[in-house]
Amino acid sequence: MRIKNAKRNVMYGIITYLLLMVLTFVNRRIFIDVLGQDMAGLQGLFLNLLSFLNLVESGVGIAIMFSLYTPFAEDDKEQIRSILSLYSRIYKTCGVAILIMGLVLVNFLGIFVKGQVNIEYAKIAFILYIIDTTINYFFSYKTCLLYASQNGYLISIWDFVFKATRYIVQILIIFLTKSFIYFILIQLITNVLYLIVINYVINKKFSWINKIKPSVVKGRDNIVKNIKALFIHKLGSFVVFSTDNILISYFLNLKTVALFTNYNMILSFCSNFTGKIFDGINPSIGNLLTEENPTKSYEVFQRIFFFNFWLSSFISISLYNTIDNFVVLWLGKQFIMDRTVLVVLLINLYISTMRMSIDRFKESGGLYYADRYAPFFEVIINLVFSIILVKKIGLAGVFIGTLISNLSVIFWVKPKIVFNNVFKKSFSQYLVLYIKYLVIALIPLSLTRIAVNLLNLNYGFMDFLLNVMVNIVIINLSYLIIFKRNKELLYYKRLIIGKFKK
């Protein structure tokens, strides 16, 4: 049942996400064409500022999710109701805090906008974004029930329905009104409708939830401790990955923010796509770890990490060879970014996506407190190096700072905790496995570069398709040959063959 639910959640998550991303890219192209680069840069800045405000919530959702795994496994409805009640109170408090902080932040927008767009217009737009964000905290807390019960596919379906509607209507609104304000209003309206429908679905599926009186939450102190630890982690993650547009807008300009945001949309799509796959198996990992069997857990991790490597390296290598071609077809040659910046961004992408399997075991194991101080060091290193380097070498400096902080702290801290506490193994075993896979990835990287250079591909549509096919064939064929006797690959082969036989 665990595997069946995981497969269903992954499948629905991937399909709906892929369809939405097509609409997202169309939406972005029309947004830039009609409203211009400055407004596109302003939107990117707003999204980063909202990420800053959302730090108030950091850790609550994940900690609550972890605390729900055992009650759902034991069908302890009273405890589920009690945890949900706690979640509701915390989330509503976060919503009020975000609203107040957002309204205060509105008065400081001029520091980042610097007269590049009308400041009053920018303030109205940002207030609408704040309202859109705040309502989630009052009406979305029940979605944890669907995730923890391995019914996340229902969220994927309804999320797709309302976001697809939003993107289509926004495209029409931009053409008709050429207004950023109306663009955000459509987002706000569709979000409200989504929350109404998803709450109806949840209330129907868990009709017993409102019939049970909440009692004392078991392990409440542990939940609060995990929330505090996760807040620090989310703070570190925000500074490392979500302050880029803020630094770029402050030290450079909104046009450069728009340029980076275009590439970041593609990278985020790939990162989130990978995340969707691992999010689908998250509850299953949590369920597995309740068995407290280190040997079995490590065996499952090896399989997931092998798949993680294959997917992460395939995405990173393919993007290195094709992303500029895609950007030209999507937006035009004037939007191509410096190659040095791209290389640094892709290294960061590879490191962050390769960490997803470790992250899922760490989160599902509830190991939030062990590395609570690591984000402080990560934040300091990232900000210091990013600010120094952006002044010296420009845009690339922002992302080199991120890379330095990544490698010096989180790269080794998280795996060490998981290997020591969950698998009862040493960090060196992870390091050997990681380096082995990294060296192997250099083979298809070299082969694809040679093939692309020999073909002398340009920026046309057929050249792009050929480039994509070259990467798909060479990377996957290389791995099939290299790993033909690998036990993880043999496991997936048996899984696929068994599926076809059925």
What is the structure's pLDDT at 98? 85
User: What's the pLDDT score for residue 226?
Assistant: 67
- Of 426, 187, 387, residue with least CA distance to 298: 426
- Residue 457 Ramachandran class (φ > 0 left, ψ -120 to 50 alpha, else beta): beta
Interatomic CA distance for residues 315 and 269, integer angstroms: 11
**Length in residues, the chain:** 502
Token representation of residue 3: 């595997």
* pLDDT the model gives residue 181: 94
Give the 3-state secondary structure of residue 299.
helix
pLDDT for 54-91, tens place per residue?
Answer: 765 555 666 677 777 778 777 888 888 888 888 888 88
Give the mean pLDDT of 291-302: 80
Provide the H-helix boundaries in 36-151.
37-53, 60-74, 77-105, 110-113, 119-139, 143-148
Nearest to 383 by CA among 396, 398, 373: 398
293, amino acid identity: N
First to last CA, the chain: 17
Contact call for residues 452 and 479 (beta carbons, < 8 A): no
**Biggest CA pair distance of the chain:** 69
The pLDDT mean for the chain works out to: 84
**Percentage of the chain modeled with pLDDT above 90:** 30
Q: What angle do CA 354, 55, 244 make, to 5 degrees?
A: 60
Closest among 127, 60, 121 to 99, alpha carbons compared? 127
Q: Which residues of 65-80 are buried (b: 16+ CB within 10 A; e: fewer)?
A: bbbbbbbbeeeeeebb
Range 26-41 average pLDDT: 88
Distance separating alpha carbons of residues 137 and 134, to the nearest angstrom: 6
The band of 191, judged by pLDDT with boundaries at 50, 70 and 90, is very high
> What is d(CA 281, CA 450) in angstroms, rounded to the nearest whole number?
37
Written as six digits, the tokens of 45 are 């800045």
Q: DSSP string of 273-318?
A: HHHHHHHHHHHHHHHHHTT--HHHHHHHHHHHHHHHHHHHHHHHHH
- Distance CA(383)–CA(231), nearest Å, equals 18
Confidence (pLDDT) at 38? 85
Tell me: the pLDDT tens digits for 199-251? 898 888 888 887 877 776 776 777 776 666 666 666 666 555 566 777 887 78
- Distance of alpha carbon 38 from alpha carbon 376, whole angstroms: 33
What is the model's pLDDT at position 317? 97
Residue 133 CB neighbour total at 10 angstroms: 20
Q: What is the C-alpha separation between 313 and 295, in angstroms, rounded?
A: 27
Q: Greater confidence, 493 or 475? A: 475
Dump pLDDT digits (tens) for 97-149. Answer: 889 888 988 988 888 887 778 889 999 999 999 999 899 888 877 887 777 77
